[in-house]
Structure 1
Amino acid sequence: MSRIISYSTADKADVLAFVGAADDLTPDQVRRLGVMREKAREGQRELERQGIDLGLTVPDALEHLVAGHASSEAEYAAGAYYRALQHIIDRNASDPAELGVYSKPSTFFGLLDEELRRAGVSADLLLYDRLFSGPPEEIPFPIPSPVDGPHIGMFPLAKAKPAADAYRAVLDRVDEDFRYELRELAEKLESEHTEWEYATKNIDWYTQDTIFFSITG
């Protein structure tokens, strides 16, 4: 089954503000939390329509995260927690865009990393570990990771342009099977850099610093 990788940009601090903050939210954050709750209910209804039981509902998982824990011992609770965290990300991020559709993203990006590493690209500009990094490490409690997804990843916006430049610089040194995808990745990263650079210089309230990846399917 194919997996869809989408991405959006946000201030990581805005996402973290909802985790473990049940009693410390501003009026605007309370409003956004209301939207998250409704989206979590919609997501749960879709899971039920598909006959999927995670042992923990997505709305309950969202309440756990906001309360400051991910303590369910249900076998597939990790999937509920990641879905709930994605709702938090989505309500604090830009509109999502599609990075691509891959039959086996872990295999593809693992092999791409090998090609880029062999061509001399710095390890901190490679994507595999970023795509599957999981939740922000600043979250003060462990969130279990779902084996079969969905997956969440992050990449610093400050590294988008260096990564794009590095990918273009080695296009003629990687296997032909990777060149089209690598060129596409470079273009999307550079586009995000351009928007980030403009907004950082010209919009005083803009604080986005992270590309968030979502792998579903």
Structure 2
Amino acid sequence: MSHIITMYIADQSRLMSYLSGDLDEHQQRTVRDYIHKDAREHQASLDRQGIDLGLSIPDALDHLLAGRPDADGDCVGNAYYGAMRHIIANIGSDPIEFGVYSKPSTFFGLLDDELRRAGVPADLLPHGFLYADLPDEIPFSIPSPLDGYPAFGRLPLAKTEAVADAYTAVLEAIDSSFVYDTKLLIKTMQTEHDEWQSALQYGHTMDTIFFSIQG
């Protein structure tokens, strides 16, 4: 099965505010007019495929917004993570497709080994941020998806240049089979750093890359 990795650039504190259980008027409109609409469309797609997660995506969204994702069932984590993606997608940038991988966790785990061997610090390795999960600051536990997908990752924009520089420094020292994807990471991280620096000049507060891995 192929897994699609998509990036969203967002303000992490803004995400936290949607999970506080106390939405302001603007947030309520955003939920009503956009996030709930996407959740309903997601659920309709699941219904057409005959997929029952034991909890609908709109109900999972309501649980998250109320700060009580406490449904029981083997697959409710899939519903909660699906609903979370709609929150992030609506408060962040347009989606940016990073790539499609058949076994991303395995591949980026091997890339971690290669980069680590070449001297890249542990906190800059790709598997770590691609699979970092949701922010630790979320004040409640969310059930994990069955089989690990969908998955989330995150990386502070303040670290993107360090990632690009570290990978560039070891590019000639890693196995050739990893060069293409490492170059893709370098280009992506440098681009996001440059755009973040430009956005800061105009008062934008986005500070995090969120990775959504579907499949």
Work out the percentage of aligned pairs sharing the same amino acid. Answer: 51
Task: Please report how far the alpha carbon of residue 129 of structure 1 lies from its aligned counterpart in structure 2 after TM superposition.
Answer: 2.0
Is residue 5–residue 215 contact of structure 1 (8 Å, CA) maintained in 2? yes
2:31 matches 1:33: yes
* CA displacement 1:72-127 (0-9 Å, x = unmatched): 11110000000111111011100111111101000000000000100000111112
Is residue 134–residue 145 contact of structure 1 (8 Å, CA) maintained in 2? no
Partner of 1:47: 46
Partner of 1:187: 187
Partner of 1:12: 12
Gaps of 5+ in 1: none
2:205 alignment partner AA: T
Q: Which runs of 4+ in 1 moved over 6 A?
A: none
Task: Please report how far the alpha carbon of residue 20 of structure 1 lies from its aligned counterpart in structure 2 after TM superposition.
Answer: 3.2
Q: 1: CA distance between counterparts of 2:122 and 2:99?
A: 22
Residues 64 and 57 (structure 1), Cα distance of their counterparts in 2 relative to 1, 3 Å cut: same
* CA displacement 1:8-40 (0-9 Å, x = unmatched): 10000111111132xx32222112111111110
Q: 2: CA distance between counterparts of 1:147 and 1:118?
A: 32
Partner of 1:214: 212
Task: Please report how far the alpha carbon of residue 134 of structure 1 lies from its aligned counterpart in structure 2 after TM superposition.
Answer: 1.5
Q: 2: CA distance between counterparts of 1:25 and 1:142?
A: 20
Partner of 1:120: 119
* CA displacement 1:159-186 (0-9 Å, x = unmatched): 0011011111111111100001100110
Pick which of 48-57 and 124-133 moved more. Answer: 124-133
Q: 2: CA distance between counterparts of 1:208 and 1:144?
A: 27
CA RMSD, Structure 1 to Structure 2 (Å)? 0.9
What TM-score results when the alignment is normalised by the length of structure 1?
Answer: 0.96
1:171 alignment partner AA: L
Equivalences, count: 213
Where do 1:152-171 residues align within 5 Å? 152-171=152-171
